[in-house]
Amino acid sequence: MTDPDRDRIRETERTNTTVVHTGGERGRGSGLIVAVLLILVVLALLFFLFGGSFNRAADEVGVDVKVDAPKVEAPNIDVNVPDKIEVDVPDVDVKTDGNQSR
């Protein structure tokens, strides 16, 4: 006696397989986390720089700075510069190979 469904049962057993990938494509989640953290840090810096929290005047905070700077006098230096400077350039015949840049 032969079983007529025997061939069909073997085909269904062959098609039900489970594939497990164990390597290769890792690290996508950590890259996303780093990118989100970097964006948050940049946004926080922009908020503090342009939000006005660092733009308070010294009077409002109560800072009183008084510094007596010493008086410094520069010496009188007399530099004699000629009115006209003449430069003699020798006449030299310059030859090119014919290539001209435009």
Lowest mean pLDDT among 15-29, 31-45, 59-73: 15-29
**What number is the average pLDDT over the span 3-29?**
64
Pairwise pLDDT comparison (40 vs 100), residue with the higher score: 40
pTM given for the model? 0.31
Residue 48, φ and ψ in degrees, nearest 5: -70, -35
- At residue 62's C-alpha, the angle toward residues 61 and 64, to 5°, is 130
**Rounded CA separation 102/99 (Å):** 10
Domain region containing 39: 28-52
> For the chain, what is the domain count?
1
Is the pLDDT at 5 greater than 80? The verdict is: no
**Does residue 7 form part of some domain?**
no
Residue carrying structure tokens 């990118």: 35
Residue 66: predicted pLDDT: 86
Residue 54: predicted pLDDT: 62
Is residue 48 within 8 A of residue 54, CB to CB? The reply is yes
Average pLDDT, the chain: 76
User: How is residue 52 written in tokens?
Assistant: 């006005």
Express as a percent the part of the chain with pLDDT over 90: 12
**Does residue 99 form part of some domain?**
no
